[in-house]
Structures are given as structure tokens and as C-alpha cells.
């Protein structure tokens, strides 16, 4: 079993990713859509906003109106674009969000923002963290020859759609399905010592070098490193960060190109 | 087995429809989203256009850009809105488009428009008609306790997403699943003799009164009547057109309120 997460940042080449993906069996794909969400939100007169938490994490401000646009972009445009491309490659893909069949369940967070050093609780924010995966549904679909293509949002335990981090959702899916490998593809060769220098790739991260890796990681890469270690702690053997702008990104990741976390 | 189609026109009360739907087992729901599509398309600077065919049917002009917005509204906003509401009602819904798992397959049409009496072939239009339903997938989900919530687009036999009529898709799903009844809910009490007079409801249509019914039917109602007879011809016992603006629309339709076609 391989779990692949492909990000939603600028520069990702979905054709290259999906052509390579189509060669493998027993695959679950998780995807993002952040860049397209920023574009569509702005066009609809609702430009993206971010929240910085007390611990320094930056996340998307997700009020109910943003969540509607989120659904349009992630579940509508991106998910169906990927499913259609896979069908064209003769892969019988099924697109699902985390709310379909209670696939991804989690707790809605009390979001606390820090603005100019002051903490403020944001009440109408629909954000959370995935804590449970409906593996029965995924196994049912895989057993019948379908390739699940999964996107946020997830469903809260109070049955509200919630924006969740796709990398950490993929990590939980990989661990609950006992995947051998989790491949996280984005618009970078992997974890970089210097985020502005693509030749500064860190080829291997181990438990011993976790703190060092977190110090290199900036912004969203912090969540990727966290997700990777969550997956390792939950039994996934290997996580690879690899480049979704190059040909054969999955085959290359399986051969150890990128940043291998083990 | 009950197949319910709920339209996407102005005035439809999804809460009333879904609260009633949640009382029944062995249900498949098909939905539209045309009014919301018009709104979002206009906001995104791509206002809706229509095509009138030689036989007088009006349909939506669906170029590739429209199809992307179509996916956003139907598969993203509408489908996930419905699935989330059903989850809140403790119904384990799964939202699927016709391209997911090759659920709805059909032929892409050569679209011929009539403008000022002249015929013109429109090459980049992604429109078609559903001809096949993946009933194995629907039965698999139903057997495992999931309620399928289905939306266009369908997938062409050349693996392109195509805009298809939701009423006729619902009719084919009902016949292929050997449903006892197909309920088509919209923002009208049923087929009206005079479309501007809601008291002019036609309570019953039979094979003998088909031509008369088609003469009453205007615009989209023509496709509903056609779809209803396609379903009857393919073995569905009864089709009911009913009002999605009133409480308990499904229970009322099962009791014969609306226009019963048999």
C-alpha cells in the first residue's frame, strides 16, 4: 500500500504525477488545492486571510463563507480535475472528501489568534485536526478496484465540515491503512536547509535529527515534518518528501530521491 | 428502492427535502445546481449562455471553462452542502459525480445550435446524455449503509467530463436499479397546464396523455416529462413530480400529491 499526498501549491505538474501514479496498484491519493483556492477566493471578492497561532503556526482563516469556496475548489475543481485525468489514464478513480461516508473525522479547534502579541479566540472558524479514518470504506473501494482520491474538508464530531491539514490527514490515512510508504509531493525537492536554495536538500531525517529538521522547516514544511513523524510513530515505515514538478515523482521517491524520513 | 431527484432552481428548500429523506431507507438522491451555477458563473466573470437546438430544447452552453465552474458548483458547493446536512441528520451520505467510479457514462453530443434560423455546429461544447449507470458501485454503497448523493457531470466514452441533464440521469438510475418510484422535486407543485398558475396542476399523466403533457410543458419541464416516460418505459412503476418548497415533499409524493405519471 502506497499513500501519496500531492500538494496544491504553484508549479505542481498534475499530469506528471498522475501518469506516474497510474503505474502502481494499491494506491490512495490525497490532494490539496491552496493556490487555486487563493485565486478563486480573490475572484469571488473574499481574499484569503491567515491566522498565526501562539506557537507560531500560520493557518487559513476559515469562516463559513470560506468553507463554501473551499468545497468548491478542493471537492469540485481540483478533485474532479484529478479524477477525470485518472479516468483518461484508465484508472478507475473515485473522488471523496472527508465528509463523504464520514471518511475523515476530527475535532473542531478553538482557534486562538495572536495579533500584535494579544491572544483572541475566533468563534466562527471551521478548522480542526483529523483523528479518525473510515478505513472500512477505503478498503471496500480498494478491494473493488477503485482508486480513492481524497480531499479535505473533514467532518467534525458535531457533523460540521472542517478545514484540516492535508499532509497530516495523509499521514493518518497512511498509518491507519498500515501503508509501507507515504510520499508527500510538493513544489520543492524536499526539506531544504535553506528554503531559497534547492541544492541544500536534506537527504535523510531520522528521529535523532527531528529537532534540526524542524529548525530548517519553514511555514507549511513544519506541518509536513510533523505529519511525517506522526506517521512513523504510528507504524509507517518510511516517508519521502519529493518534487511534484519533475517527471516520475513517485517512482523517484520510491527509489529514495528527495528527503527520506525513517 | 426510491430514487429522488431534487432540482437546483430558486426556491428549493433543501432542509425540508433532506429532513424528510432521512426517514427512508434504500434511497438514492440525485441533485442539480443550476441557479447557484448561474450566480457563481456571473461572479467569476463568465455569465451563463444557452443554446437552442433545432428541436427547440434550450440547454446550457458548456465550454471547458464553464465545465470547471460547473464542477465547482455541482460537485463542490451543492454536493457537499447536501452531504453535510445529511450527516447532521445521522444519514451516512457519500457524494459522487458521474465521473467518480465511472458512475454515469454517456456519449458526448455534437451540439448544433440554431441562431436566427441558421444551424451551427459548436465544437468545444461538453454536453451529452447518460446511457450507462455503474449499478455495481451504487449497490455496493447501499449494501454497506451509505446513501449515494449523485450529481452531474457524467463521463463520456472518451473519458471527458460532460454536462448531462440531471432529470434524465435520475430516470436512468431509477430504471437500472429497478426502483419502484422516481420522485422529481422542483420549485413547482408538478406539471401545470398554465406555468403561471400553480392551481392548474395536472394530477395524473398516462401514456395516452403524453402528447398533451408535452404541450403543457415549458422549457426544463419538457425534459422532466421525457425523463419520466423514459423511466416508465424502462420498468419504473411510477414517477411523481412534486414540490420541493413544502414540508415533507417525499412523504407527500409517495402519497400521490403532485403530478403522478404512470
**pLDDT tens digits for A2-47?**
999 999 999 999 999 999 999 999 999 999 999 999 999 999 999 9
- Looking at residue A166, its pLDDT comes to 94
Interface size A-B, in CB pairs within 8 Å, comes to 118
Residues of B in contact with A46 (CB under 8 A): none
Residues of B in contact with A151 (CB under 8 A): none
Instruction: Please tell me whether residue A118 adopts helix, strand or coil conformation.
Output: strand
- Looking at residue A223, its pLDDT comes to 85
Q: Which three cell numbers stand for residue B162?
A: 460532460
Q: Does A139 touch chain B (CB under 8 A)?
A: no
- Looking at residue B106, its pLDDT comes to 97
Interface test with B, best of A76, A93, A149, A151 (most B CBs within 10 A): A76
Q: Check CB contact under 8 Å for B100 and A94.
A: yes
Rounded distance, CA A202 to CA B171, Å? Answer: 57
ipTM over 0.90: yes
| Segment B201-260, tens digit of pLDDT | 999 999 999 999 999 998 889 889 988 999 999 999 999 999 999 999 999 999 999 999
- Looking at residue B193, its pLDDT comes to 95
Which contacts of B115-121 are long-range, i.e. CB under 8 A and separated by 24 or more positions?
B115/B52, B119/B54
At residue A5, φ and ψ (nearest 5 deg) are -110, 125
Say how many domains are in chain B. 1
What's the pTM? 0.96
| Segment A186-197, tens digit of pLDDT | 999 999 999 999
Domain of A105, CATH number, reads 3.40.1160.10
Q: Does B132 touch chain A (CB under 8 A)?
A: no
Of B44, B76, B87, the CB nearest to A43: B44
Confidence of residue A111 (pLDDT cuts 50, 70, 90): confident
Q: Which residue of B has its CA nearest to A37?
A: B72
Would you tell me which residues 50-89 of chain B have a C-beta closer than 8 angstroms to some C-beta of chain A?
Answer: 68, 71-77, 79-81, 83-84, 87-88
Is residue A64 pLDDT above 80, yes or no? yes
| Residue of A182, A164, A7, A142 lying closest to A78 (CA atoms) | A7
- Looking at residue B124, its pLDDT comes to 87
Rounded distance, CA B224 to CA B261, Å? Answer: 11
For A193, the domain range is 2-261
Q: Which three cell numbers stand for residue B262?
A: 404512470
SS3 labels along A178-193? CCCEEEEEECCCCCEC
Confidence of residue B118 (pLDDT cuts 50, 70, 90): confident
Of B80, B97, B146, the CB nearest to A101: B146
Is residue A56 pLDDT above 80, yes or no? no
Q: Does B145 touch chain A (CB under 8 A)?
A: no
Q: In sequence order, which residues have a C-beta less than 8 Å from that of residue A132 and are 6 or more positions away?
A: A104, A105, A106
Rounded distance, CA B259 to CA B262, Å? Answer: 10
Q: CA of A23, closest CA in chain B: separation in Å?
A: 18
| Segment B66-92, tens digit of pLDDT | 999 999 999 999 999 999 999 999 999
Is residue B198 pLDDT above 80, yes or no? yes
Mean pLDDT confidence for A204-226: 91
Amino acid at each position: 500500500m502506497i499513500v501519496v499526498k500531492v500538494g496544491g501549491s504553484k508549479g505542481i505538474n498534475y499530469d506528471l504525477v498522475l501518469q506516474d501514479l497510474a503505474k502502481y496498484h494499491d494506491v490512495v491519493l490525497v490532494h490539496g488545492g491552496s493556490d487555486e483556492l487563493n485565486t478563486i477566493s480573490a475572484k469571488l471578492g473574499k481574499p484569503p486571510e491567515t491566522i498565526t497561532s501562539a506557537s507560531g503556526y500560520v493557518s487559513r482563516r476559515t469562516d463559513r463563507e470560506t468553507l463554501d469556496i473551499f468545497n468548491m475548489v478542493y471537492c469540485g475543481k481540483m478533485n474532479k480535475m484529478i479524477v477525470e485525468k485518472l479516468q483518461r489514464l484508465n484508472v478507475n478513480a473515485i473522488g471523496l472528501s472527508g465528509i463523504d461516508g464520514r471518511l475523515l473525522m476530527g475535532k473542531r479547534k478553538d482557534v486562538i489568534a495572536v495579533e500584535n502579541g494579544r491572544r483572541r479566540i475566533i468563534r466562527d472558524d471551521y478548522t480542526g485536526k483529523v483523528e479518525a479514518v473510515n478505513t472500512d470504506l477505503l478498503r471496500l473501494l480498494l478491494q473493488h478496484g477503485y482508486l480513492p482520491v481524497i480531499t479535505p474538508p473533514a467532518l467534525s464530531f458535531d457533523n460540521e465540515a472542517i478545514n484540516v491539514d492535508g499532509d497530516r490527514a495523509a499521514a493518518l490515512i497512511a498509518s491507519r491503512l498500515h501503508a509501507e510508504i507515504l510520499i508527500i509531493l510538493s513544489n520543492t525537492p524536499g526539506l531544504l536547509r535553506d528554503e531559497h536554495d534547492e541544492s541544500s536538500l536534506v537527504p535523510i531525517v531520522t528521529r535523532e535529527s527531528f529537532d534540526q529538521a524542524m529548525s530548517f522547516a519553514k511555514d507549511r514544511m513544519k506541518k509536513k515534518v510533523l505529519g511525517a513523524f506522526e506517521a512513523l510513530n504510528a507504524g509507517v515505515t518510511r516517508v519521502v518528501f519529493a518534487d511534484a514538478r519533475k517527471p516520475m515523482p513517485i517512482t523517484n521517491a520510491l527509489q529514495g530521491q528527495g528527503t527520506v524520513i525513517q
